[in-house]
Amino acid sequence: MTVSTDKPHLSRDHMLDLLKQMVRIRRFEDKCVELYTQEKIRGFMHVYDGEEAIAVGVIPVLEKRDRIVATYREHGHALVRGVPMTKVMAEMYGKQEGCSRGRGGSMHLFDAATNFHGGNAIVGGGLPLAVGLALADHMQGNNLVIACFFGEGAVAEGEFHESLNLAALWGLPVLFVCENNLYAMGTALAISESETDIQHKATCYRIASEAVDGMDVVAVEAAARRAVHAVRESHKPYFLECRTYRLRAHSMFDPQLYRDKGEIEVWRHKEPIVRFQEWLQANQMIHQDDVSRLESEIDAEIAEAVAFAEAGTWEPVEQLTRFTYADPAVPTGR
C-alpha cells in the first residue's frame, strides 16, 4: 500500500483505501479487546481506537526501505506498514508463529522484512534508537527516512530532548511523529508539561515542525507528504505533532478515573472513521455497499488471523535461552 508522494490524490480508490485501513485497525483492536477478556491475550495491551488516522496518514507515505520505530501502542502501525495480520495476532497469543517468535507480545512487535524496528515498552525508549538508525543511514548514505512514533508523554523523558538535540545537531533524517492524545496514561497533558504546545518544543532544537489535526486522515496525509519530502531532501529531522484522542482506556485495566464520560462522547463524534465516512458519503465518494464490502473483507481477514493464532504452537521450552546470544548457525534477521 504505497502512495505516490508528489501531489495529494483525492481519487476514489485512494479514499476508499484510507477508510479501509482505518476500519481494519479499529476492528482488529476490537477483536483483540474481546480476546483479551477471554484470556487469549495476556500481559499489557494498548489499543489504537481514535488515533487510526495518524498511522494510516503517515506510514503509506514512507518507502519500503525507510525504517519505523514505534511504541507499545503499535498494532495499527504494524498493520498499516504491512506486517501480516496473522503474524501480529499469533504474536498477541504468544505463539511461535508470531512476528517476534511469540516472545514479544502486544508491546514488542518486530519485523525485519518491513524494517519495523519494534514496539518499545519504555516511554521515550524508541527515540534514541531512531536517532541511531538515522546515524547509521547518515554514515551509509542511503538517504532513508526514519519515522519515530511516540506519545506526548515521552516529551517529559530526558531521552526525548537528548534525541531531538542529537538529530538536529548531527543532521539526521528522523521524522518525529508525536501522537498527542492528551493523556499520558492517567496524566492529562496540562498537568505534566509546562509548555503544552508540543510542536513548539521542537523549535528549541531548530527542528522544522508542524501540528496537524490528527483526527483528519487527509490532513495528516498531506502533512506527512510535506514532512517526508523535507526530511528526504534536507537530511534534517522534521517534527510532526498530530493532535488526537484515544477513545478507549490507556490499557485494558484502566477505569479511566482521570477523565469523564462526557469528554469521551464529545470526541466520539470527532473520531477519524466517523468523520471521514460521513464526509465521503456527503460527497457521494462512496456508497453503503462499498462500506459493507470492505467491512466483510476485513472481518474475513480477522477471522483468518484468529484461526491462524489459535492453530499456532507454543515454542518448546528447551529453546528458552536460544537467541539470548547470537547463534552462529542462524543469521540475524530470521
Partner 1 sequence: MQQGTARSETTEMTYREAVREALRDAMKRDERVFLMGEDVGRYGGCYAVSHGLLAEFGPERIRDTPLSESGFTGAGIGAAMVGMRPIVELMTVNFSLLALDQILNTAATVRHMSGNQFGAPLVIRMATGAGRQLAAQHSHSLEGWYAHIPGIKVLAPATLEDARGMLWTALQDPDPVIIFENVMLYNMAGKLAANAGQVNIDKAAVRRSGRDISLISYGGSLWKTLEAATALAAEGIEAEVIDLRSLRPLDDASIMASVAKTRRAIIVDEGWRSGSLAAEVCMRIIEQAFWFLDAPIGRVCSEEVPIPYPRHLENAALPQAPKIIAAAKAALGRA
Partner 2 sequence: MADFLMPSLGADMEAGTLVEWLVKPGDWVKRGDVVAVVETQKGAIEIESFQPGQVEKILIGLNSKVPVGTPLAQIKTEAEGKAAVATPPPAPPPYPVTPAVPPGMVVATPVPRPPPVAAAAASPAARRLAQERGIDLSMIKGTGPGGTITYADVEQRLGAAVAVPPSEPMEKKRAIGLDLDAMRLAIAAAMARSKREIPHYYLEHRIDVSASEHWLAQRNETRPPESRLLMAALTIKAVALAAHRFPAFNGFYRDNKFESSKAVHVGTAIAIRGGGLAAPALHDADQLPLDELMSRMRDLIQRTRAGRIRGSEISDSTITVSSLGERGVEALYGVIYPPQVAIVGFGKTVTRPWVIDGAIGPRPVLAVTLSADHRVSDGHTGALFLAEIGKLLMEPDNL
Using rule CB under 8 A, residue 317 touches partner 2: yes
Identity at 68, one-letter amino acid code: I
Q: Which entry of partner 1, partner 2, none binds 262, CB below 5 to 8 A by partner kind?
A: none
- Report the residue from 10, 266, 274, 330 that binds partner 1 according to the rule CB under 8 A: 330
Residue 252 near residue 36 (C-beta atoms within 8 A)? yes
- Report the residue from 169, 300, 307, 311 that binds partner 1 according to the rule CB under 8 A: 169
Nearest to 209 by CA among 186, 240, 235: 240
Nearest to 98 by CA among 83, 82, 114, 76: 83
Of the candidate spans 33-41, 153-161, 227-235, 275-283, the one that interacts with partner 2 by CB under 8 A turns out to be: 33-41
- Say what the alpha-carbon torsion angle 249, 199, 161, 136 is, to the nearest 10 degrees: 100
Q: How far is the CB of 235 from partner 1 (least distance, A)?
A: 15
Using rule CB under 8 A, residue 304 touches partner 2: no
Number of residues that bind partner 1 (CB under 8 A): 50
Q: Which entry of partner 2, partner 1, none binds 42, CB below 5 to 8 A by partner kind?
A: partner 2
Toward partner 2, which CB reaches closer, 14 or 40? 40
Of the candidate spans 58-66, 116-124, 197-205, 294-302, the one that interacts with partner 1 by CB under 8 A turns out to be: 116-124
Q: How far is the CB of 172 from partner 2 (least distance, A)?
A: 37
Footprint on residues 128-147 left by partner 1 (CB under 8 A): 128-133, 135-137, 139-140
Residue 46's φ and ψ, nearest 5 degrees, are: -125, 120
Q: Which residues contact 231 (CB under 8 A, 6 or more apart)?
A: 145, 173, 174, 175, 237, 238
Residue 126 near residue 162 (C-beta atoms within 8 A)? no
